[in-house]
Structure 1
Amino acid sequence: MRMIDTPETLATALDALVEADPALAPLRAAVGPVSPRRRPPGFGGLCAIVIGQQVSTASAAAIWTRFSARFDPPAPGPILEASDEDLRACGFSAAKIRTVRAIAEAALGGRLPLDALGDMAADEAHALLCSVKGVGPWTADVYLLFCLGHPDAFPAGDLALQEAARLGFGLAIRPGPADLAALAERWRPLRGAAATLLWAYYRVTRGRDVAPPGDRDRLGAGG
């Protein structure tokens, strides 16, 4: 299972996808060359995704700056030792404090082997991440795709992916998570490459025809 972590590996994956599903060819032609979006892996990378949920890009950047300065580098032990006041001072909400503490406990206890997730099948890695209280399906798949370059991670709950599928395939309505996940089954084991293509298609089309969906938590990956 080859990670999608360079423009070359992504291009190879997209070639295979278009050959298997020619319906993707117009989308690829519309976006031109696509580069994978990468974030640092590990505990800090997962915390950064949690930080970015349901806040503006500027707010997420400010929180991350304070957080990474206070915990340099972010690691499970110091997070568990820190007080709630320390984390609130960084800009964390009560819910995000609970989530990063749960991630830290799972990582230290061996229930969340962050270093091994990239070697697992996407569904297995996804299930492990979602077993941590506060980590939802979107967070899990975005971590697998952006931080690890997992070739088969697919955040079906992302509204930008849903809107791109509506536009790209001429659907009457935007597919929901279950419908998009069912559609993506034909792209296994390269659903991650398909997600990257759909995000790129969303970016090039939303200025013309798309009224951007309003759930910023689900648009953070593709916006």
Structure 2
Amino acid sequence: MDALRAGSRPLTMTYSPARPVNLRQTVGPLLRGQHEPTMRFTANGFWRVFLTPCGPATLHAEERGGSIAATAWGEGAEWVLDALPELLGRGDDWSELDLSRVPPLAEVRRQHPGLWLTSTSLVFEVLVPAILEQKVTTLEARRAWRYLVLKYGQVPPGPAPEGMRVQPSPREWQLIPSWEWHRAGVGPERSRAVLAAAAVAAGLDRLCAGGAGGAGGARLVEGVLEKLQSVRGIGPWTAAETSQRSHGHPDAVSVGDYHLAAHVGWVLIGEPVDDAGMLELLEPWRGHRQRVVRLILASGVAKPRFGPRATIQDHRWH
């Protein structure tokens, strides 16, 4: 265990949601691989470290008989506990999602009643790893994320598992030397996009002020996609991946993903499609398209492996 930070006193709370919550399925999209430095899953819960507006925080959440027992440490402990219900999908309303036309998807939802869209209420912290995933393989992106966070992140408060780190602050991202981006395998386009986002990080995080819950939430967060794309280097895919996590955006579709369109096509019609075909298939569920995508991914139906795989390129030493 990392040493306790001096003066870090834990705060605790018990959250009793009004409906089932599957912790792993709900917050799972925040995990970037088995060796994610900002998050760990346990048998009944998870650890996650945050850089909140109030300072760094460590959160441990664990399911206990239908309730969630949570403990938080650090300057941002109170902020994290206040944000816990939204993190666990409290604002996510599936009541108007009609799956009657596709009984297999309705069955997936029946089998996974505790799957909800998470909302971190923090934009910049989920934007950076999304930028690092632009146009590279998952392996490359996770390698770069882990390298940079372990080297430039700070030791989290409280008894976080060994090796966890709070990701760098916007200013700390800006101070990373160019050769370290190169060593991490991050090309100039992605590093410039991180720096552009860091320069406006405070404004990006203010986009979470209204939340995303309820029927009006979908309309509210539509503007988030546009505002994210106003940052240099942020396109539709990155904006969607970010808003899905920061706002629990119920309709954001990751157009441009290397695998997603083919997966959606295979599950819905038994054959792969391109992005245009995916959007056409999802159109009947406009307003809920991300929820449908999450059900497709939770279905356990794997698309056949067809076509060439992406080639992993190592930019670190060229």
The residue correspondences of 1:3-14 to structure 2 (distance < 5 A) are 5-6=87-88, 13=94
1:44 aligns with 2:125: yes
**Structure 1, unpaired ranges of 5+:** 218-223
Q: Give the deviation of 1:193 after TM superposition.
A: 0.9
- Greater relative contact order (Cα < 8 A, sep 6+): 1
1:102 aligns with 2:196: yes
Cα–Cα, structure 1 residues 70 and 28, in superposed 2: closer, same or farther, change >3 Å? same
Q: Is the 8 A contact 1:154 1:192 kept in 2?
A: yes
The residue correspondences of 1:130-209 to structure 2 (distance < 5 A) are 130-170=229-269, 174-201=272-299, 204-206=300-302
Q: Deviations over 1:12-52 (max 9, x none)?
A: 61x642xx242233124257326357596432221112223
**Structure 2, unpaired ranges of 5+:** 1-84, 155-166, 213-218, 313-318
Match of 1:35 among 95, 111, 115: 115
| Partner amino acid, structure 1, of 2:294 | T
User: How far apart, in 1, do the equivalents of 2:281 and 2:239 lie?
Assistant: 20
Q: Is the 8 A contact 1:161 1:199 kept in 2?
A: no
Percent identity over the alignment?
A: 23
Cα–Cα, structure 1 residues 106 and 47, in superposed 2: closer, same or farther, change >3 Å? same
So what's the TM-score if we normalise by structure 1?
A: 0.71
| Structure with the higher helix share, 1 or 2 | 1
Structure with max Cα Rg: 2
The aligned counterpart of 1:221 is: none
1:115 aligns with 2:208: yes
| Partner amino acid, structure 1, of 2:298 | A
Match of 1:91 among 185, 204, 223: 185
Cα–Cα, structure 1 residues 163 and 200, in superposed 2: closer, same or farther, change >3 Å? farther
| Partner amino acid, structure 1, of 2:236 | P
Cα–Cα, structure 1 residues 81 and 156, in superposed 2: closer, same or farther, change >3 Å? closer
Cα–Cα, structure 1 residues 87 and 158, in superposed 2: closer, same or farther, change >3 Å? closer
Q: Give the deviation of 1:121 after TM superposition.
A: 2.8
Q: Deviations over 1:34-77 (max 9, x none)?
A: 63575964322211122233444444333222212314332222
Local SS of the residue matching 1:78:
helix
So what's the TM-score if we normalise by structure 2?
A: 0.53
User: How far apart, in 1, do the equivalents of 2:186 and 2:277 lie?
Assistant: 33
Q: Is the 8 A contact 2:251 2:289 kept in 1?
A: yes
User: How far apart, in 1, do the equivalents of 2:145 and 2:171 lie?
Assistant: 18
Question: After the TM superposition, which parts of structure 1 deviate over 6 Å for at least 4 consecutive aligned residues?
Answer: 7-10
Cα–Cα, structure 1 residues 195 and 102, in superposed 2: closer, same or farther, change >3 Å? same
Q: Is the 8 A contact 1:161 1:198 kept in 2?
A: no
User: How far apart, in 2, do the equivalents of 1:9 and 1:159 lie?
Assistant: 30
1:26 aligns with 2:104: yes
1:82 aligns with 2:181: no
User: How far apart, in 2, do the equivalents of 1:186 and 1:158 lie?
Assistant: 21
| Partner amino acid, structure 2, of 1:66 | Y
Cα–Cα, structure 1 residues 103 and 29, in superposed 2: closer, same or farther, change >3 Å? same
| Partner amino acid, structure 2, of 1:205 | V
Cα–Cα, structure 1 residues 199 and 5, in superposed 2: closer, same or farther, change >3 Å? farther
Cα–Cα, structure 1 residues 39 and 66, in superposed 2: closer, same or farther, change >3 Å? farther
Give aligned pairs, total.
205
User: How far apart, in 1, do the equivalents of 2:233 and 2:267 lie?
Assistant: 32
Local SS of the residue matching 2:269:
coil
Q: Deviations over 1:109-137 (max 9, x none)?
A: x3774534845634311111112221121
